[in-house]
Amino acid sequence: MLKKTELSGVKEIARRANVSIATVDRVLHNRPGVSIKTKEKIDAIIKDMDYKPNLLARRLASKKVFKFAVLIPKESKETEYWNAPLQGIRTAWSEIQLYGVELSFFLYDLNDRTTFNQEAEKIFKDSFHGVIVAPSFISESVEFFNKCEALKIKCVFINSDISNVRPLSYIGPDLFQSGKLAGNLCKYLVSQQGRVLVLNISRELDSEHHLRKKEAGFKAHFDETRPDVDIEVKSLYETDYISVTKELQSYLKNHTIDLIFVTNSRVFTVAKYFEENKISKIKLVGYDYLSQNLQYLEKGVIDFLICQKPIEQGYQALLTLYDYFINQSTIDKVQFMPIDIITKENYKFYKN
């Protein structure tokens, strides 16, 4: 039986280069203390062998610890949405904890922008390598990002992005395209001269800004394919059921419409109103895989939900930081989530 001559990895490189493992290691990590000549020789051999380090061994031997922070909204009474990304982050964490990842959570209140800065301050008190941020408030987020840059803290944005700012990666929907898809779907639900109401339900002006991207996409699709359809837009700044009810009541008294498109997860509020007032002729399309929405989907009150994998957004966000710091992979600047269509018939199989 032949003796296995092929040493693996570093050892083999060392053997070929006639140096020790330590020297190879220095070259691999760009550490000083290697003459240019030997460095070049070793680099050539590495390239020649197409050497791929054994990540298992690498992580096992490395005692480095990375600290990451999470800065996202806390789950509110009004919508459970933000629970999903958190869950994804937790799942990812359970997978990589072993490899020296520490995680701290900082949750702010979507209805109170001052809490964003409060939590941000806490983050800067400690020293983190990276942060997962949901940049709900534009100016605050920009400021936060700039401070991170100065401190060499890497940011990953999730759920919505901000123009003119380049984090390590943005992981979330293409909002405009998401609205376009909604338009695409709704086109099939209304007649040639139909009437459509687009509803932004959100308290803070900034997040409304994000909703407006969806709105724009929605309109764009109709402009391209059905210019005759009448589209009206309304923004509601009070998000509780009573307020929404009032607005809807007065609106529907004066208008006849075929469809309502709600630009975020609060579509269930409208659905509840429809159900209680036995409105069944108006089609209803909205966002997000929440239990509150699913029950109305099941009942047929909501026709379609569009979903952008919030759990996976969280999961990918943490894995992205992991890939960047631990695996030293190159990171895609933008990681768009798929734009998924959920109906009564497929929601049970959906993976959020």
Evaluate whether 217 touches 184 at the Cβ level (below 8 Å).
no
- Residue 99 engages its own copies in binding (rule: CB under 8 A): yes
Looking at 6, 50, 126, 345, which residue binds its own copies (CB under 8 A)? 345
Task: Kindly state the smallest distance separating residue 127's Cβ from DNA, in Å.
Answer: 18
> Residue written as tokens 């901000």?
162
String marking each residue 138-177 x if it binds its own copies according to CB under 8 A: ------------------------------------x--x
- 310 lies in the site for its own copies, by CB under 8 A: no
What residue type is assigned to position 18 of the chain?
N
Alpha helices in the chain (DSSP H): 9-17, 21-28, 36-49, 55-61, 83-96, 114-125, 138-150, 175-187, 205-225, 241-254, 267-276, 291-299, 310-325
Of 60 and 205, nearer to its own copies (C-beta) is 60
Q: How many residues of this chain interact with DNA, rule: CB under 7 A?
A: 32
* Residue 1 per-residue DSSP state: -
Q: Does 60 bind DNA (CB under 7 A)?
A: yes
Among DNA, its own copies, none, residue 334 binds (CB under 5-8 Å by kind): none
Cα dihedral: 180, 185, 190, 193 (round 10): 30
Residue 48 vs 276, nearer CB to DNA:
48
- Residue 221 in the binding site for its own copies (CB under 8 A): yes
β-sheet bridge partners, residue 304: 285
Chosen from its own copies, DNA, none, partner binding at 346 (C-beta under 5 to 8 Å by type): its own copies
In the 8-state DSSP scheme, what is residue 74?
A: P
Between 77 and 351, name the residue whose CB sits nearer to its own copies.
351
Q: How far is CA 7 from the centre of its chain?
A: 43
Contact residues for its own copies (CB under 8 A)? 54-57, 59-60, 98-99, 174, 177, 180-181, 183-185, 188-189, 221, 303, 336-341, 343-346, 348-351
